[in-house]
Structure formats: C-alpha cells, structure tokens
Structure 1
C-alpha cells in the first residue's frame, strides 16, 4: 500500500479528476481527499465499494444473530424446517 499516493488535495481532484478515477479503478485502493489539511471525502471504485457494503451487511447479520443468541431468541433446526415445509405446502 502506498498511503502517500492515496491522499490528494481537493485541488488535485478538481484539476485531474480523470487521472484520479483511473488510479482508483486500476489500483482498487480508495483515495482520501483533503481540504485545508483535513480529510473531506474518500473516493473508491464501484467494485470495491460494493464488496465493502456486502461485507458490512454480513457483519450486521452476524451481530443481529449474536444478539438473538444472547437474548435466548432461538429455535430448533427441526422447528425451522417444519415451518418452511408448511409454508411451501401452502404456496403450492
């Protein structure tokens, strides 16, 4: 990772937007945009962004599942499969 190559001032974004887009799509590394020395935005290629969103969704589902376990909101496998089987029978 070349973090110094991945931090650009907003003036660079204004002047070389196409180059910056090529960089993030070629490297798949996000670029931090700074303004007056402060972080203001992150640019990321669409594929990496979608992968990150999918990973966050999975982590959220895991956290919800762990919370259910701690709260005792559990059902047996047999009960779940019976409910699914009954639901499928009603739909056919």
Structure 2
C-alpha cells in the first residue's frame, strides 16, 4: 500500500482505533497521523516496533565497534583465542 494511503487525521484514529488494530494483522505498514494537516505521529504494530528497536540496537553496536576499531581498541583474533584457551 502506498504511503499516501497510510496518512490519516487524528479524528480517524480516535473513531477507528479498533479497526486500525485489526488491520495491522494483514497490513503492518505504519499509519501516519496528522493534526491540523501536519504529520504528528506514527502508529506501528508491536512486531514492527520491536523489529525497529532490535535494528537500532544492532546498528548502535556496529557503530561502537567501528569507533573502537578506528581508535585501535581491538585485539588480534589469534591473541584473543590464545588468551581464552589459557583461561580454561
């Protein structure tokens, strides 16, 4: 479904909340809610929200790893595995 069809005024949200929730089962696209003609919020189903949060967490970990790598804060793999073998 196109994004334009997923834009609704806040009055639609107020009067169709139950229908919106039911529709997420077949159409998980986010719903954009407007107020006075301006986009004000996005409504997502819980699975899409959780997926988005997991993606953000993974991207944060990648960014942190890249920063540590650029700063030289890493250990060679052979050294790491040798250290782990000594601790067993």
TM-score (norm 2): 0.86
Is residue 2:11 matched to residue 1:2? Answer: no
Q: For residues 48 and 85 of structure 1, what CA distance do their matches in structure 2 show? A: 41
5 Å-filtered alignment, 1:62-77, equals 62-77=62-77
Deviation at 1:77, TM superposition (A): 1.2
CA-to-aligned-CA distance 1:48-76 (integer Å, 9 cap, x gap): 11111111111111111111111111101
The TM-score with structure 1 as length reference comes to 0.83
Aligned-pair Cα RMSD in Å: 1.6
Stretches of structure 2 that go unaligned for 5 or more consecutive residues are none
Task: Map 1:70-89 to 2 at 5 A.
Answer: 70-85=70-85, 89=88
Q: How does 1:1-92 map to 2 (within 5 A)?
A: 1-85=1-85, 89=88
Unmatched tracts of structure 1, length 5 or more: none
The answer to whether the 8 Å contact 1:28/1:45 transfers is yes
Q: Is the 8 A contact 1:24 1:43 kept in 2?
A: no
CA contact (8 A) 1:6 1:31 kept: yes
